[in-house]
Chain A
Amino acid sequence: MAELNTGDGGGGKGGKVRSKKQNSKVDLTAMVDLAFLLITFFMLTTSLSKPQSMDLSLPNKDEDPNKPKIDTKVDENRTMTVMLGDNNKMVYYMGLLATPKVGPKDIAYGKDGIRRELLTQKKNVLAYSAGKGKPDQGIIVIIKPTKKSNYRNLIDILDEMAISGVDTYAIVPEFSPEETKLIDKQPE
């Protein structure tokens, strides 16, 4: 590699010519290294700094989305209700609250909590629907966020829906007195 050398011309006339030749070239390796490093940095930061987002579609408001069980005559064996309380509390049950198939039970967020349960129930419902001859009818999840639940809880549960592949879900912030009692109950 050519280097800038200043002092080691050393010898006679022949040496002088040589040192001049060497001077004409500058080592660009370090400069190229730096340039590529910066390129990489800018490339990554421009594409990574874009905010990610999550799609959410809600039903039309006028059609009263609040009573899917009654209005659209949904089979209660297919519904799962998830209530979000304060302090990351979550209660779920299958079917109707008066005659629940599973639960009501407290459950945690994350892969060992709600996700495992969602996947199990999803499978059960699919098996049930297949038994009735309608294998395309999957689970319906009703998400009920209380006034004390926060935005993170909502995003978390919507995320669980996306992860476990549940595509029929509704956000229904309405509570029967029994449900309120259930979610307000402090753990013993």
Chain B
Amino acid sequence: MAKIKMKKKSTSTDMTAMCDVAFLLLTFFILTATAKVPEALPVDTPSSTVQTKLPDSDLAIITVGKGKVFFDLKGREIRKRTLEGMGAKYGVTFSEDDKTKFALMDDFGVPVAGLKQIIGMNSADRTKANQPGIPLDSLDNQLKDWLLVSRRAAIDLDDKELQIAIKGDAKEEYPKIKKIMDILQDQKINSFNLVTGTRGKDF
């Protein structure tokens, strides 16, 4: 009798603890994972073999595609501070609510005057909004100001130099990229990152 009982016990392992641990980890990963939001300007980045990871905060991404330029900042506090600065510079007042919303937003490509409208939309509408891109010609170079203000914000908040990445579409012609690089270099930013996909060396 006793022997048979022992055997029965040994065939099944107690999985409760394992299950607990597994679900704990699962919850952790789900919560830390950042949901992928559709980008306002989808671009097809070229691939390279070099793999340097981009930082999560203190990063500005300039997206170039279809002849338009979009701007994105990582880090909520920096976004808020930058929006304040830009509002002051261009005479647009943003409410506290706008700032909170802007902090949670992704990339955008509108002149400062039209930014309020974009902030007011929900994310699905933003993607469809057909944003015209940030003006960067010599008369109205808003990209330059965005960069200046956000760099200052990064230094104020974290005492760190803002890193800048260019995310270009593979088919974008060189002069457009060159223009962005020139704007960066005018501000003495000589070192930046180019966002690329990955590939093996065998191509």
Contacts and interface: CB of A to CB of B under 8 A. Distances in A.
A145 B53 CA distance: 26
B88 interface: no
19 contacts: A38-B26, A39-B29, A42-B30, A43-B29, A46-B29, A49-B36, A51-B45, A51-B167, A52-B50, A52-B196, A54-B194, A57-B191, A59-B190, A111-B203, A151-B64, A154-B177, A155-B170, A155-B194, A159-B48
Q: What range describes how many residues of A lie at the interface?
A: 35 or more
Interface residues of B, number: 55
B12 A1 contact: yes
Interface stretch (A23-31, A71-79, A94-102): A23-31
Interface stretch (B79-87, B93-101, B128-136, B178-186): B178-186
Taking chain A's interface residues, is the majority helix, strand, or loop, or is none over half, making it mixed?
mixed
Contacts of B19: 28, 31-32, 35
Interface string B39-74: 000000111111111100000000010000000000
A148 B167 CA distance: 19
B187 to A, nearest CB: 10
A56 B177 CA distance: 13
Interface of B: 11-12, 15-16, 18-19, 22-23, 25-26, 29-30, 32-34, 36, 45-54, 64, 165, 167-175, 177-178, 181, 185-186, 188, 190-198, 201-203
Nearest to A36: B22
Given A54-B195, A159-B196, 10 more contacts: A28-B15, A32-B18, A42-B29, A52-B48, A58-B191, A59-B190, A145-B178, A147-B174, A151-B169, A155-B170
Nearest to B43: A151
A50 B54 contact: yes
A1 B168 contact: no
Given A52-B196, A54-B196, A158-B48, A150 B203 contact: no
Given A2-B12, A39-B29, A147 B18 contact: no
A53 B168 CA distance: 11
